[in-house]
Amino acid sequence: MPTTPDSPSGRHYAFVADVPVRWSDMDAFGHINHARMVTLMEEARIQWLLSAGEEYAPLIKSAMIVHVEIRYQAQLRHEDSPVRIGMWIKGFRSVDFTIGYEIYGTTAAEDSRPACVASTQMAVVDIENHTLRRLTDGEKGYLREWSREGDAG
């Protein structure tokens, strides 16, 4: 059973990654560039998926992004590094799953809201045949374990 680390706001996550912000992630105004936020989320997602272990390698190796959604609620700057990215499974269907993200600066107050809220929809692909494939029952169980209460597919 996965652990559920807490956020500064007390929300529970399946996985939390601390991702350093590089100077190249900044825009001309000193904020994390909107396109680079997708890269920071990718780094966090890879940490999480690699932590799943060999049993779930087919799921990890075959998942590809089909949709990204990001809502910025506050500024993040270089001094907020590393950003803390809490993730969980928002839901899944027969051939895809959605990862939820809440992103905080390293000095976020305990009662603060996330600076960024996002999601990535991941389709599962049969790599050899270049087609979508269905999630196995084992993969669905794994995704359900990483879901928040009431979010499971």
Confidence bin at 4 (pLDDT 50/70/90) = very low
**Nearest-angstrom CA–CA distance, 119 and 18:** 17
Query: What is the value of pTM for the model shown?
Result: 0.87
pLDDT digits (tens, 9 = 90+) for 37-87: 999 999 999 888 888 777 777 787 788 999 999 999 988 888 888 999 999
**Nearest-angstrom CA–CA distance, 75 and 68:** 19
Count of helix runs (H) and strand runs (E) in the chain: 3, 6
Q: Taking the CB of residue 108, how many other CB atoms lie within 10 A of it?
A: 20
Domain ranges in the chain are 15-145
**Nearest-angstrom CA–CA distance, 100 and 119:** 4
Per DSSP, the three-state class of 82 is: coil
Classify 128 in phi/psi space as left (phi over 0), alpha (psi -120 to 50) or beta. Answer: alpha
pLDDT digits (tens, 9 = 90+) for 15-26: 999 998 888 887
pLDDT of residue 6: 55
Query: 135 with 95: CB under 8 angstroms?
Result: yes
Instruction: Answer yes or no: CATH 3.10.129.10 is held by domain 15-145.
Output: yes
pLDDT digits (tens, 9 = 90+) for 134-145: 999 999 998 998
